[in-house]
């Protein structure tokens, strides 16, 4: 089957903000403890950070990490995670029904994120707390000194302010599962008042308000309209969260869910445009997709695990194992984020280790990489620059959920500094390879820098037992001419073609 993709040097979608290659570290399951932090591990450094994980994070070029939640944050007291570790309280953590020791907290995260060479994104508790506690946390983190909370940070060994620039105003407050769940009006007013106070303390910070937690929420998009109405003049970004499961619906439906993600973003974009016009504002709100990923377990699995054995320390919950099939939806979701680079400026793949993660660890043992690790790594390393507007022709299919689903999904990114174009493809067809001609109008093509494919004989293949069962391999069926590329994409595969351009 043949496909045609047309790119033109003069038609651009938007610059890729490096922060779209972010991740998320929540106090959930083994994300923190025995994930990124395990002092007893053979690879641990002087701060207790696993260096095998750190190296994998650096290879991914993760740009930003959101912390400490997530559902966890909505009953979290940040004060419990600072100061001498031996004096920190053990607390009952309500979101995941665990015991939180607080041995890893704000200072530890700042040390870790600096070593990971990424930016921090902090979330304040607007579930069980409010304006005052958010201000105290901001003062602790960002004020130079000479005040109660900034001096407490200095006393605990961090003389320089953390300079945390990005702050989320709560987490998923539209969800009935959230501690302190609120209506859109209640949350919008609290977020606005909290944001105003925080920006009075530190005018340089950027604020992210909670949008709808999923496109399937009954309150979507009314929630987004109301929250934007309340917070528009205060915030800088509206948060979008999106997970997709549904493997049981069949591959055709499962992979087509990227079309829902496109519609979700366009709907929220329209809501923001309406509120902007209503307010006669010159400001344009951007978006933060600060939780996204593939959910490989039934939706209630994590709750079942928690109910069966509650109140444990860092229990191994929701440790999803990703298949080749999951990796293709994951790659498709990342393409959607890049194709909306004009409005999405922050994105955090959830989570960084062990829970719906690209990186898996064994306590006191090895680390291994899931099938989803490789698409993220290639997008993050080579998807930086300017997203090109493209036109495509090719075969489509219909399924129960969507019509006219292209078998070949794609995005093209022009990196002017590196003089290259990277074109990313997903071939959704389970049995047939796809031929594709990429026309690069206005570009003079040089040599092929790299051409790789990620595939497996069985779509349910994972890397759990054989850690190298699904890894990128060279695709030799690629040829380049003056202004075009011809490639054959293996059946059911993720592909990257990097070409030198002049």
Positions marked catalytic:
172, 291
Task: Give me the sign of the Cα torsion angle 94, 95, 96, 98.
Answer: negative
> 349 forms bridges with which residues in the sheet?
23, 292
Secondary structure class of 290 (helix, strand, coil): strand
First to last CA, the chain: 30
Neighbouring C-beta atoms of residue 310, cutoff 10 Å: 13
SS3 content of the chain, % helix, strand, coil (to 5): 30, 30, 40
Strands (E), 69-116: 91-93, 98-100
What phi and psi, each to the nearest 5 degrees, are found at residue 139? -60, -45
Task: Give me the sign of the Cα torsion angle 440, 446, 447, 449.
Answer: negative
What is d(CA 493, CA 165) in angstroms, rounded to the nearest whole number?
Answer: 38
Secondary structure class of 257 (helix, strand, coil): coil
DSSP string of 197-249, one letter each residue: HHHHH-TT-EEEEE--S-TT-TTTTHHHHHHHHHHTTT-SEEEEEEEE--GGG
What is d(CA 241, CA 466) in angstroms, rounded to the nearest whole number?
Answer: 32
Checking 228-232 for CB contacts under 8 A at 24+ apart, the result is 228/271, 228/272, 228/275, 228/285, 229/188, 229/275, 229/278, 230/185, 230/188, 230/189, 230/191, 230/192, 231/169, 231/188, 231/191, 231/192, 231/195, 232/275, 232/276, 232/279, 232/281, 232/283, 232/285
> 350 forms bridges with which residues in the sheet?
24
- Helix (H), strand (E), coil (C) string for 56-79: HHHHHCCCEEEECCCHHHHHCCHH
Please give the C-alpha separations between residue 168 and each of 146, 215, 260, in angstroms, as whole numbers.
26, 20, 25
């Amino acid at each position: 089957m043949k496909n045609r993709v047309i790119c033109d040097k003069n038609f651009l979608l938007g610059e890729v903000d490096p922060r779209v290659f972010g991740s998320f570290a929540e106090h959930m399951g083994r994300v923190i403890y025995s994930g990124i932090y395990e002092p007893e591990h053979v690879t641990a450094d002087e701060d207790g950070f696993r260096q095998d994980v750190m190296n994998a994070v650096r290879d991914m070029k993760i740009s930003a990490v959101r912390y400490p939640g997530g559902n966890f944050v909505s009953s979290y007291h940040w004060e419990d995670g600072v100061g001498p570790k031996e004096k920190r309280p053990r607390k009952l953590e309500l979101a995941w029904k665990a015991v939180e020791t607080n041995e890893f907290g704000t200072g530890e995260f700042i040390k870790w994120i600096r070593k990971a060479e990424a930016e921090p994104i902090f979330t304040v508790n607007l579930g069980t707390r409010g304006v005052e506690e958010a201000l105290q946390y901001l003062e602790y983190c960002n004020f130079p000194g000479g005040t109660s909370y900034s001096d407490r940070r200095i006393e605990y060994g961090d003389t320089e302010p953390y300079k945390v620039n990005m702050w989320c105003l709560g987490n998923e407050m539209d969800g009935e599962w959230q501690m302190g769940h609120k209506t859109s009006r209640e949350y919008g007013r609290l977020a606005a008042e909290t944001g105003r106070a925080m920006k009075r303390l530190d005018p340089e910070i950027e604020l992210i308000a909670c949008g709808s937690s999923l496109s399937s929420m009954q309150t979507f998009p009314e929630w987004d309209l109301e929250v934007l109405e309340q917070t528009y003049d205060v915030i800088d970004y509206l948060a979008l969260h999106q997970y997709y499961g549904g493997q049981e619906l069949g591959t055709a439906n499962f992979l087509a869910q990227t079309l829902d993600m496109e519609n979700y973003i366009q709907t929220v974009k329209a809501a923001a445009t309406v509120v902007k016009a209503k307010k006669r504002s010159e400001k344009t709100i951007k978006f933060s997709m600060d939780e996204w990923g593939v959910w490989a377990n039934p939706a209630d699995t994590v709750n079942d695990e928690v109910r069966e054995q509650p109140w444990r320390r860092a229990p191994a919950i929701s440790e999803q194992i990703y298949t080749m099939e999951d990796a293709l939806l994951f790659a498709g979701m990342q393409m959607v984020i890049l194709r909306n680079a004009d409005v999405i400026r922050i994105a955090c793949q959830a989570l960084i280790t062990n829970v719906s993660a690209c990186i898996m660890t064994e306590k006191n043992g090895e680390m291994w990489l899931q099938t989803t690790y490789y698409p993220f790594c290639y997008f993050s390393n080579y998807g930086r620059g300017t997203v090109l507007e493209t036109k495509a022709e090719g075969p489509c299919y219909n399924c129960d959920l969507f019509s006219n689903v292209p078998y070949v999904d794609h995005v093209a990114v022009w990196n002017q500094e590196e003089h290259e174009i990277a074109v990313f493809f997903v071939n959704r067809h389970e049995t047939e390879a796809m031929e594709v001609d990429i026309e690069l109008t206005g570009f003079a093509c040089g040599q092929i820098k790299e051409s790789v494919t990620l595939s497996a004989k069985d779509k349910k293949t994972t890397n759990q037992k054989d850690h190298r069962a699904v890894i990128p391999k060279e695709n030799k069926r690629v040829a380049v001419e003056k202004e075009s590329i011809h490639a054959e994409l293996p059946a059911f595969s993720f592909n990257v073609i990097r070409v030198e351009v002049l």
